[in-house]
Amino acid sequence: MPQTVQRDMTKDIVSGIAITTFIVAVSMYIPILGFFCALFIPLPILFYRSKLGRKTGVIIPVFTVIVMVIMFGRITIDMLIFVELLFIGFMLSEFIELNLSIEKTVLYTCGTVVISGFLGLIFYSNVYSIGLYALVSEYIAKNLEITISLYKNMGMPEENIHMISNSLDHIQYVLVRIIPALFIASTVFVTWASLLLAKPIFRAKALFYPEFGQLNLWKAPEPLVWGVIGCGLLLFLPVNALKMIGLNGILVFLTIYFFQGIAIVSFYFEKKRFPRVLRFFLYSLIALQQVLLFLIVTLGFFDMWLNLRKLETDRDET
């Protein structure tokens, strides 16, 4: 290998480790900003894995994990979450190379990450001799306490903090039982976001990026609606275990229909030629307002019947 190529490759490896480690550090030590920064953790792994190849690209996540072990001092659940984010970037690059459809790329990536995350959690619980339920319950309780402290520091009214504190046991009970759906939904969201963010970067650096087509025309497969109906019916059954299965299923399906709703919004933003600044403001508003999030999900779900983008009509005209 020519010396210049070797030098450039070494430079890319060092840059990849430095960038990824920096994002991880910010995610660890800065509470609110860190949450949003964590969404970008897969991106440098995805980029450098695609640029350098599998054998060289794997060096970056491996060294980042070593740095995380040093930073955390030991293996923790938080560290496992960061490792899964690194894994999303690496697996996305693997499936992008196969030039699959957008659905298969996201599904296969999320499938491997969710399964590996579940196995990693089992391994962690065995190493520290803690039951899986107790491990998850303890982790959620700890994070709820951190959240209360954060609210206090932000100056939230005392009566609101008191009300939340009195409801912590109930909140913890629900969160423990919907943690599978939260994990799957967050994995799907981060995977989708990484794909969208990677596109302009890959094009600018002349890296291969699949032709997924216009994503603002994307529709969820129609049979999924029966999954929503089935999970909804489970919520009315008198068996708590079935209710929780239904609730977890509903949350995952609603995440999928959220993406369809966002595709509809993006379609009309583009059709009406909204300025970029206005689009950014409206997308930020959607992210911060729960009512708007629910509206977007509703748009996505009912689009199957309403055909809000008139897709068949547009195709006929074309």
- Is there a single domain that holds both residue 223 and residue 299? yes
Mean pLDDT of 68-83: 84
- Is there a single domain that holds both residue 203 and residue 228? no
Decide if 94 contacts 83 (C-beta within 8 A).
no
pLDDT per residue as tens digits for the range 119-151: 999 988 888 888 888 888 888 888 888 888 877
From 211, 232, 267, the end of a domain falls on 211
CA-nearest of 151, 308, 177 to 240 is 177
- Is there a single domain that holds both residue 199 and residue 277? no
pLDDT per residue as tens digits for the range 238-293: 888 899 999 999 999 999 999 999 999 999 988 888 888 888 888 888 877 878 88
pLDDT per residue as tens digits for the range 193-213: 999 899 999 999 999 999 888
- Is there a single domain that holds both residue 193 and residue 260? no
pTM of the predicted model as reported, rounded to 2 decimal places: 0.88
- Is there a single domain that holds both residue 232 and residue 257? yes
Q: How many domains is the chain partitioned into structurally?
A: 2
From 168, 188, 211, the end of a domain falls on 211
- Alpha-carbon separation of residue 35 from 10, 41, 140, 147 (angstroms): 30, 11, 16, 12
Mean pLDDT of 1-27: 84
- Is there a single domain that holds both residue 27 and residue 126? yes
At 1, is the pLDDT very low, low, confident or very high (cuts 50, 70, 90)?
Answer: low
* pLDDT over 70 (residue 313): no
Mean pLDDT of 21-39: 84
- Is there a single domain that holds both residue 10 and residue 136? yes
Question: What range does the domain containing 124 cover?
Answer: 1-140+180-211
pLDDT at 315: 47
Q: Does some domain include residue 89?
A: yes
Tell me what the pLDDT averaged over the chain comes to.
87
- Is there a single domain that holds both residue 205 and residue 240? no
pLDDT at 318: 42
